[in-house]
């Protein structure tokens, strides 16, 4: 095995954030007396994605995002609910609805025998720590690097330097990043000068001029590719 440090993205690489987010969203609106949320959820996803792109560019912070995504959604659907109340309840729900990507535990268990496993995420620190704690992944993860703690987000090179400093042993030649977002995980790896593995379960087209070292559509394929 060439690698002894494996840096995994969390959401939609190890944890199925889309499934967790939808369950948490439904529970939140149910708590505020709204049962039918499909159209509302579509609006939320659009606004949330816009705001996360601003986070990655360093234009806004996460405290603003947490409330603003609900504020915009509620305004568009003419719902008179205080957005900060809804945001707080949603953040409480998210760690309670943890769904694993198929093969996540197995791939961590396999790679753990070759070195350290770190999780690198642009998510919200408290939430991400709780989600890991509430999952079967916790026994295999050596450290967590969160952009909120660092002050810079993927794909910024400074975030990857921050993550590398958390490892017991680090060399660029023996480190690989595994993630689903080519514009954050793979671009960040290329900028930092380390190998990358693009987890691409939906066989998405690569629309930017960034080439991953490896590509898989299932986590179970990682075993054979990396060995």
The fourth-level CATH superfamily of domain 17-96 is Putative phosphatase; domain 2 (1.10.150.240)
Residue ranges per structural domain of the chain: 5-16+100-226, 17-96
**Pairwise CA distance, residues 57 & 152, whole Å:** 9
CA angle 127, 43, 15 (to 5 degrees): 30
pLDDT surpassing 90 at residue 206:
no
Percent of the chain at pLDDT > 90 equals: 86
Q: Which architecture, in CATH terms, is 5-16+100-226?
A: 3-Layer(aba) Sandwich (3.40)
Cβ-Cβ contacts under 8 Å for 61 (sequence gap 6 or more): 55
Per-range mean pLDDT, top range of 74-78, 148-152, 202-206: 74-78
pLDDT surpassing 90 at residue 79:
yes
Average pLDDT over residues 214-218: 97
**Confidence band (pLDDT; 50, 70, 90) for 80?**
very high
CA angle 11, 12, 17 (to 5 degrees): 65
**Pairwise CA distance, residues 39 & 139, whole Å:** 38
**Confidence band (pLDDT; 50, 70, 90) for 123?**
confident
71 near 138, Cβ under 8 Å?
no
- Report which secondary-structure segment, H or E, holds 48: helix 38-56
pLDDT surpassing 90 at residue 50:
yes
Cβ-Cβ contacts under 8 Å for 83 (sequence gap 6 or more): 67, 68, 70, 71, 74
160 near 48, Cβ under 8 Å?
no
């Amino acid at each position: 095995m060439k690698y002894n440090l494996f840096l995994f993205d969390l959401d939609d690489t190890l944890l199925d954030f889309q499934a967790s987010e939808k369950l948490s969203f439904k529970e939140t609106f149910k708590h505020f007396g709204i049962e039918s949320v499909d159209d509302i959820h579509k609006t939320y996803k659009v606004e949330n994605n816009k705001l996360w792109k601003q986070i990655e560019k360093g234009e806004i912070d996460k405290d603003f995002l947490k409330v603003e995504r609900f504020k915009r959604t509620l305004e568009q659907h003419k719902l008179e609910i205080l957005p900060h109340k809804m945001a707080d309840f949603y953040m409480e729900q998210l760690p309670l609805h943890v769904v694993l990507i198929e093969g996540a535990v197995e791939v961590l268990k396999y790679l753990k025998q070759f070195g350290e496993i770190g999780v690198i995420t642009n998510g919200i620190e408290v939430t991400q720590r709780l989600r890991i704690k509430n999952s079967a992944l916790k026994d295999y993860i050596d450290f967590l690097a969160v952009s909120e703690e660092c002050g810079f987000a993927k794909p910024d090179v400074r975030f990857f330097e921050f993550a590398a400093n958390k490892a017991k042993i680090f060399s660029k030649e023996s480190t690989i990043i595994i993630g689903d977002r080519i514009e954050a995980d793979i671009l960040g790896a290329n900028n930092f000068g380390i190998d990358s593995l693009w987890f691409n379960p939906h066989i998405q087209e690569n629309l930017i001029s960034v080439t991953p070292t490896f590509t898989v559509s299932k986590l179970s394929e990682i075993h054979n590719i990396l060995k």
